[in-house]
Structures are given as C-alpha cells and as structure tokens.
Amino acid sequence: MGQIQWGLAFVFIACFTFAVLSFAIGFANDNSSPIDISDDTQLSLLYPNTSSNLSTYNTESATSSQSILNTTIAPGSQTAQSSGPFTITFANAIGVVTNIMGVGYQKIFGSTDGFGIFLSVFIGVIGLITALYIWKALFGGVD
C-alpha cells in the first residue's frame, strides 16, 4: 500500500539531494571557493552514490514498467485481459517525444550530461507511475 506515494517520496528525496550537492559543488568550482563541500569526504561520497542510485532507479523502473506492460491475466474476470491499449499509447508517446526532448535538452542545457540525470529520472518516474496505474486498473491494490 502506498507504493506510488512512498516511491515518489524516495525518488524526489534522491533528486533533491543530488541537486543540492551538485549545485553546491558547481558553485564552489565556478567561483574557485576556498571552502568547498567536495573537500568533505562523506558528502563527496554521497554525491556519486546518489547519482548511482538515481541511475539504477531509472533502469529498474524501465524494466519494471516493461514487465507490467507485458502482463496478461486469465480470461473470465470482468477486467481487461492485457494492458495492450496502454502499451500502444505509452510506447508511442515516449517514442514521439524522444527526439523533441533531445533537441530541447541540447539547446537549453548544452552537451554536458549534468542535467540529463534529472530528465532521465523524470521520464523514469512517469513511466513507473503510469505502469503502476495500469497495474491498478488491471488488478488494483496499488495506491
């Protein structure tokens, strides 16, 4: 119960932590600050660890989303037997916006991948939440 709410909370906490740390480290680098939080061992370890967590989340959410989209249930009940309609809409939507997102990202944020992790996680969150709602439509039990 509460998987969507708790999942989003953890993802947003990770994104917020990564954003705060990357901003502070970037601020210190840009201004050549003598006091730099990257000099702190634990915080400088937290930064790549959080980045790794977000990347892992993005991969796992894509895998989980795909597995839910491929779900079928036994006929006879008063529910849809597969998530085919959701698959078509969702997959096409992602395919359409990929090129637009790529161009927009290159033009606004440049060629570096510092901000890309946020877009990746954002798309991952949308994909996982969509998949969980599809699961809820088919089987229920997810809030």
Partner 1 sequence: MLFLDLYTLPNSTTPDQILIDTIAEVDIVPKLLLAFVFFVVFIGGSMRQSLRTGTADFAMWSVVASLCTLMIALIMSTAIGFISLEWLVIVVVITILSGVWLYFDRAMT
Among 7-15, 67-75, 93-101, 132-140, which window interacts with partner 1 (CB under 8 A)? 7-15
Please state, in angstroms and rounded to a whole number, the distance separating the CA atoms of residues 76 and 67.
Answer: 22
SS3 75: strand
Out of 22, 37, 62, 101, which residue is the one contacting partner 1 (CB under 8 A)? 37
Q: What is the 3-state secondary structure (H, E, C) of 4-72?
A: HHHHHHHHHHHHHHHHHHHHHHHHHHHHCCCCCHHHCHHHHHHHHHHHHHHHHHHHHHHHHHHHHHCCE
27 touches partner 1 by CB under 8 A: yes
142 touches partner 1 by CB under 8 A: no
- The minimum distance between CB 19 and partner 1, in angstroms, equals 9
Torsion angles phi and psi, residue 137, rounded to 5: -65, -35
Among 13-21, 54-62, 79-87, 132-140, which window interacts with partner 1 (CB under 8 A)? 13-21
Q: Using CB under 8 A as the criterion, which residues of the chain lie in contact with partner 1 when the complex forms? A: 2, 5-6, 8-10, 12-13, 16-17, 20-21, 24, 27-28, 31, 33-37, 39-40, 43
